[in-house]
Structure 1
Amino acid sequence: MISEIGFGAQPRARYAVLPGQSRGRLFDEPASPTRTPFQRDRDRIIHSAAFRRLQAKTQVFLYHEGDMFRTRLTHTLEVSQIARSIARALSVDEDLAEALALSHDLGHTPFGHAGERALDLVMAPYGGFDHNAQSLRAVTALEQCYAEHDGLNLSWETLEGLVKHNGPLTDRQGKGIGHYEKGLPYAIRVYAEQQDLMLWSYASIEAQAAAIADDIAYNSHDIDDGLRAMLISLDQLRDVPMLSDLLGEVEDIYPGLSEERTAHELVRRLITRMVEDVINTSMDNLSRLKPQSVDDVREASQTIVGFSAEMTEAVTAIRRFLFEKVYREDNVMRIMRNAEQVLKELFLYHFKAPDMMPFNWQFDLDGAPDKIVARRVADYVAGMTDRFAIQEHKRLFDVTPYLG
């Protein structure tokens, strides 16, 4: 099931996305003599303003709570490394998997999911706010650096994977399903009028690899950050079956090891265990389903890249533990409630006074309908870093909630 392609790449499986068969870009461009379309996509994402801003956006802990905690940028780089490893093992395009991993969080607001909740609430009358849809909006509209078009003009395969990495969004008749049963987010709905991303189908193996890499990265590294923040202890991890087993393994091999080194050994083993499970499970699925092309993958009856039933159960237990001990810890929740307030107030202020935004954001809003103003303000606020959002709130309001 392996075929060779150009650009010095490793052998590709028949079910892989082949760069030479890309469906192209919304705006035609001449091909590069030295890079595949997906390598160019990756490079454009890395050089984008939205990617740079990830360095000061929250993963779990706010950017100023400590230099050792992960940000959206460091999380994204970790996802990218894991995605490439899985893609390589499955003989699919590593560059596409990497591009998708690097772009998957570009639409996140400041303060993580707290900021997303705040913007979704205030945007409810105007179509809501969804960070996955905002990632698509960032790379197709909000990045404005090219002379000939808005957005990064990424390849069809990268946009498809970015939108559908968690599975189909609609049925074949275009009706939203699952999370989108009540309707598609604004950004996805608008872009679908320009280019058909086959929202009813599954995404490529490369996109599925990036999606599961995200799960692996945050489930393991949020344990590491939770330990660093002293919200959890190594002893508490013994209540989670797989973590208890891994701790026992580390302690058997390295008796008397320091807590910091023990934590690192635990996390690296956890990542390895999950990655190997995904590769083995995915290979089993590929052997059973026997896709002969990427279109077979898209039209499959299920996600192909994923955890085994046993690992799914173990990961669910880890997530349950993290929700209880880290994400919903009283102090974390207090900070996130305050962060939500900051985002809501910033949105409402600029919605009432859009002329207080920088000129390139307020341009042509005079007399515009509320829904247009609201979307522009949401784009502006969503693009802020944690640091800038706090500074802007302090500039505009007498009192800023404490975020520490």
Structure 2
Amino acid sequence: MHWEQLLSLKRQGDTAKRLRKDQDDTRLGFEVDYDRIIFSAAFRSLQDKTQVIPLSKTDFVHNRLTHSLEVSVVGRSLGRLVGKQVLEKHGYLKELGYQMNDFGAIVAAAALAHDIGNPPFGHSGEKAIGEYFKTGNGLRFKAQLSDKEWQDLIDFEGNANGFSVLATSREGIEGSLRISYATLGAFMKYPKESLPKKPTSKICDKKYGFFQQDKAFFTDVAQELGLIANKSGDDIGYERHPLAYLVEAADDICYTIIDFEDGINLGLIQEEFALEYLIKLVKNGIDTNKYHQLTTKEDRISYLRALAIGSLINDAVKVFMDNEEAILNGDFPYSLMDKSQYIAQMKDIINISIKNVYQCREVVQKEVIGYKIINTLLDKFCTAYHNTIDGKASNYDTIVLKLLPERFLHPKEKVYDQLLHICHFVSLLTDGKALQTYNIIEGNPN
């Protein structure tokens, strides 16, 4: 892979090549990506979507929006630090007009959008959608779908849904947000289709990154960027865009450290444990005099958190640059943090978060509620939508469909498109809106 191609400013529908040296630096194309994402309805909905604690009313617990903003900030730093070294190593890029901040802007935009396709109620929401088709009433549609279409549904994936949010055309809106191909490439952590599932142990094959409905445009983006194909026959898959490693690292750093911090603030993790684990990450950079002057738990944890994130950023940049050639050749099958010098410390922190936070009673109880809500919404809306298109709608089906937003009322011919259309609608609901719609359907006044 070649950096000039990987940094493509092309957008869906372009007929002429966009050159970096011709860009207006006061309104750089990669920064336009960031603006379009942050002003989108799908991004705004993240303010009421679960990060760790579903339906949490606690003001200091992160939601998907605050998490995404923080991942974007970390991603921008990673991009700039890598960009500076890449430009020093590949001087021709400077002659083409590329700057250090271009790398930061691409990674920041892709990181901002990294959770934009996640359904309500966190990762349990993805599983709930898949379970509806795998073991629930949605199983009745299996015979009408291809194997790959079916796999899209039973293994519903927030990353693939995010690609749809950013790129899928709909009536009157060509190319959705029309994000640059470079940013789309950095966004695509898993540049493959849903089957074959986990064909290798490579990080790029861990999950999938696009639905069958988006296959043609995904392939266009991958080929424009010069990504390396790693599948044959009828299967589609590519090695990662190099900057996708930085987006993933930003997410890994933030959820490791900040979910841990949320657990501390919720009282689920004792401060003495937190101090012990975090100090292992920052022992080479801590100012002990400053630390001992901090009198509150919140200030002590914040100080250690900032130092920890800084240590992990610098380490991720080193891993990237040490392996840049292998990454460009498609020969780096790991995440950056898998090769971090702090991998043992990160695993310790993640393990205590799993035990004390992710599996705490409050999370489990609300995940159960989320499963019930999503299952009910999918069943009612899939049934009503499918029956209406087939000309078999009951009066109840007609009433239910009136709850759909206007942009989801357009008919789809293929059963796969119908089902994915409703999954997309449900996935874009906030936690609160999903609960409200469920209560309406179930006849609960409150």
Structure 1 length as normaliser, TM-score? 0.80
User: Does structure 1 residue 394 correspond to structure 2 residue 439?
Assistant: yes
Q: CA deviation at 1:363?
A: 2.3
On the 8 A contact 1:76/1:102 being kept in 2, the answer is yes
**Amino acid aligned to 1:110:** P
On the 8 A contact 2:117/2:165 being kept in 1, the answer is yes
Alpha carbons of 1:67 and 1:254: their partners in 2 closer, same or farther (altered >3 Å)?
Answer: same
Alpha carbons of 1:192 and 1:237: their partners in 2 closer, same or farther (altered >3 Å)?
Answer: same
Q: CA deviation at 1:242?
A: 5.2
Task: Summarize deviations over 1:213-252 as a string: whole Å, max 9, x none.
Answer: 0010111111111112111111233664855876995776
Q: What is residue 6 of structure 1 aligned with on the other side?
A: none
1:193 is paired with a residue whose SS is helix
Q: Distance in 2 between matches of 1:397 and 1:76?
A: 33
1:217 is paired with a residue whose SS is helix
Which deviates the most, 214-223 or 173-182? 173-182
Q: Distance in 1 between matches of 2:284 and 2:332?
A: 38
**Amino acid aligned to 1:280:** K
Q: Distance in 1 between matches of 2:106 and 2:205?
A: 29
Alpha carbons of 1:247 and 1:58: their partners in 2 closer, same or farther (altered >3 Å)?
Answer: farther
* Pairwise CA RMSD: 3.4
- Between the aligned residues of both structures, percent identity stands at 23
Q: What is residue 377 of structure 1 aligned with on the other side?
A: 422
Q: Distance in 2 between matches of 1:177 and 1:189?
A: 21
Alpha carbons of 1:159 and 1:25: their partners in 2 closer, same or farther (altered >3 Å)?
Answer: same
Alpha carbons of 1:181 and 1:22: their partners in 2 closer, same or farther (altered >3 Å)?
Answer: closer
**Amino acid aligned to 1:140:** A
Given candidates 124, 143, 151, the residue that maps to 1:114 is 124
Q: Distance in 2 between matches of 1:265 and 1:183?
A: 35
Given candidates 210, 217, 227, the residue that maps to 2:264 is 227
Given candidates 299, 312, 326, the residue that maps to 2:357 is 326
On the 8 A contact 2:408/2:421 being kept in 1, the answer is yes
**Amino acid aligned to 2:419:** A
1:26 is paired with a residue whose SS is coil
Alpha carbons of 1:390 and 1:225: their partners in 2 closer, same or farther (altered >3 Å)?
Answer: same
Q: What is residue 307 of structure 2 aligned with on the other side?
A: 269
Q: What is residue 61 of structure 1 aligned with on the other side?
A: 53
On the 8 A contact 2:315/2:341 being kept in 1, the answer is no
**Amino acid aligned to 1:88:** R
Q: Distance in 1 between matches of 2:445 and 2:372?
A: 9
Given candidates 169, 182, 187, the residue that maps to 1:162 is 187
Q: Distance in 2 between matches of 1:214 and 1:117?
A: 20
2:323 is paired with a residue whose SS is helix
Q: Distance in 2 between matches of 1:117 and 1:174?
A: 16
Q: What is residue 103 of structure 1 aligned with on the other side?
A: 113
Q: CA deviation at 1:33?
A: 4.9
User: Does structure 1 residue 254 correspond to structure 2 residue 301?
Assistant: no
Alpha carbons of 1:348 and 1:314: their partners in 2 closer, same or farther (altered >3 Å)?
Answer: same
Q: Distance in 1 between matches of 2:369 and 2:339?
A: 39
Q: Distance in 2 between matches of 1:374 and 1:400?
A: 28
Q: CA deviation at 1:144?
A: 6.5
Count matched residues: 371
Q: Distance in 2 between matches of 1:380 and 1:359?
A: 11
Alpha carbons of 1:261 and 1:220: their partners in 2 closer, same or farther (altered >3 Å)?
Answer: same
On the 8 A contact 2:8/2:181 being kept in 1, the answer is yes
Q: Distance in 1 between matches of 2:125 and 2:445?
A: 15
Q: CA deviation at 1:65?
A: 1.8
**Amino acid aligned to 1:205:** P
On the 8 A contact 2:264/2:274 being kept in 1, the answer is no
Task: Summarize deviations over 1:37-65 as a string: whole Å, max 9, x none.
Answer: 32222222122111111111111123542
Q: What is residue 216 of structure 2 aligned with on the other side?
A: 193
Q: Distance in 2 between matches of 1:230 and 1:17?
A: 49
Structure 2 length as normaliser, TM-score? 0.73
Q: Distance in 2 between matches of 1:55 and 1:360?
A: 22
Q: Distance in 1 between matches of 2:266 and 2:198?
A: 44
On the 8 A contact 1:63/1:386 being kept in 2, the answer is yes
**Amino acid aligned to 1:337:** V
**Amino acid aligned to 1:44:** R
Alpha carbons of 1:359 and 1:323: their partners in 2 closer, same or farther (altered >3 Å)?
Answer: same
Alpha carbons of 1:262 and 1:304: their partners in 2 closer, same or farther (altered >3 Å)?
Answer: closer
**Amino acid aligned to 1:25:** R
Alpha carbons of 1:399 and 1:327: their partners in 2 closer, same or farther (altered >3 Å)?
Answer: farther
Alpha carbons of 1:269 and 1:15: their partners in 2 closer, same or farther (altered >3 Å)?
Answer: farther
